[in-house]
Each structure stands twice: as structure tokens, then as C-alpha cells.
Structure 1
Amino acid sequence: MQGYTYTKGEHYPMEHLVFKVAPEDVERYLEVDHEIWTLKEAYAPGFDHIPFLYKEVWLNDNKPGEIHLIFAWESIESWREIDQKEYQAQLIKEFDEKFGRPYELIRVVQNEENFGVHRYSRFERI
């Protein structure tokens, strides 16, 4: 099929977090999330490259203020290295100070599934 690619047989660990914020705070949340979480995990100390393949942000129109953050990690090892408690605590502190509004982490899908969810294939328009 012209204009599309299909890749299968992959094994990229997936991180799926679900947050709840006041609907009027969504844009600000996403700005601060990008600045603190996306960029600081992308350029984390100890890595000579970005350790995740991509990050997507999904919003739920049926539940205003619900934000889904989806990461495809290059490997579980890279993910675990980024997930070190001290580094994560530093990022949480920076995020909380900069965002300054209430938010709630309502689901951590990878924990519910014991880190078993991975990307196997991808069909996409090019």
C-alpha cells in the first residue's frame, strides 16, 4: 500500500500515565509537562541520546481535564535508568513548583500490567 509503512516484531516498553487537572489548567499543565518531564527526560544526565522513541499526549473529550501521557521507550533498561528515585523526585519538585496548581495521577497502566505492555507493531501513514 503506497503512502503507509508497517513494521512488526518490535518490543518497545510502553509507559501510560493518566492525570486529572482542572479543565482550565490543561494547557498550562501540558506546557510545564513538556518543559520539565519531556525535555528533562529526553536530555537526562548519563545519556548520549534521547532514551525514548516518542511521547504522545492524549486528551479525553468525554472527561475534560483527563490527560494521558504515552511513552515508547527504547528499552526497559533505559526506562529504569531514567526512573531512578532521586532524579524523579527532583523532576516532581521542579514540576510542582512551576505548575503550582492541583493535579492528580489517577492511573499508572504499566504498574497495573507489571510492565508487560509493549509496542509490537505500527501501521502509519508517511
Structure 2
Amino acid sequence: MVIEWLQVRVAPELREKYIQKDGEIWTAFLARCPGFLGKEVWLNPNDPTEVILVIRWATREQWKSVPPESLEEIERQFVQAMGEAFPIVQLAEYQIRKFPQA
């Protein structure tokens, strides 16, 4: 399994709308992509502007096979729904390593 980790800055007064529209637009789109396993939204209790999106993919190949044109179109729809863009502050990729049970 591969984790796509995104940190976004969102004004506190827009945070709930951001999370709602992200679910309606981005998560709904990703749910139709092969290899998408799920998504979580993490909120920092010490920084109300920080939103972390944790997206689980079965394989890196499936994640990276999502067409860039599709991603651009979904981002356009999201920006239109929100009225502004929210740039990614930081992004990372992680692999989950499971160990055999003893």
C-alpha cells in the first residue's frame, strides 16, 4: 500500500466548506479510480489552518496512472466550487511496510 500525504493551508472560516467540497468533488472522483483504497482528513488542533489529506492507494503504479488531464479537470471544478485555489504546502509519499505476526 502507498500513502499520498498532502498538507494544505485553509483559512479557519473556510475549513468545513473545504472538507465538504473535497469529499463531494475530489474523494468522489478518486473513488472511481483503480487502486484507490480510501482517504482521511486530519485536522491539527494546534493550527486551525492546517488540513492534512491522507490518501491510500493499492500500488504506486495505480496512483500514478490517474490521467493528469482528469486531475486538472477535477481541480478546476474544486476551485470553481470553493471560489479560490488552495495550494499544497507540502506533499509526501509513503509505503506501508507490514511485518509478519510473531
Structure 2 length normalisation: TM-score?
0.88
Query: Which ranges of 4 or more aligned residues in structure 1 deviate by more than 2 Å?
Result: 101-104
| Residue of structure 1 equivalent to 2:29 | 40
Report the Cα distance in structure 1 between the residues aligned to 2:37 and 2:68, rounded to whole angstroms: 22
* Superposed CA RMSD: 1.6
Q: Deviations over 1:87-122 (max 9, x none)?
A: 111011000001114523100112xxxxxx211249
- Change beyond 3 A, Cα 1:102–1:85: closer
**45, 59, 68: which is aligned to 2:52?**
68
3-state SS, counterpart of residue 64 of structure 1:
coil
Paired AA for residue 120 in structure 1? R
Query: Is the CA contact 1:21–1:104 (under 8 Å) kept in the aligned structure 2?
Result: no
Note if contact 1:15-1:70 (Cα within 8 Å) is conserved in structure 2: yes
The corresponding residue for 1:94 is: 77
Q: Is the 8 A contact 2:4 2:54 kept in 1?
A: yes
Contact 1:72 1:119 in 2 (8 A): no
Q: What are the ranges of 5 or more consecutive residues in structure 2 without an aligned counterpart?
A: none
**Runs of at least 5 residues in structure 1 that lack an aligned partner in the other structure:** 1-11, 111-116
Question: 2: CA distance between counterparts of 1:101 and 1:89?
Answer: 15
Q: TM-score when scaled to structure 1?
A: 0.72
Work out the CA distance in 1 between the residues paired with 2:23 and 2:40. Answer: 11
Listed one character per residue, the Cα deviations across residues 46-81 of structure 1 (whole Å, up to 9, x for unaligned) are: x4xxx2222111001111121000011011121011
Greater C-alpha radius of gyration: 1
Give, in whole Å, the separation in 1 of the partners of 2:60 and 2:85: 30
| % identical aligned pairs | 32
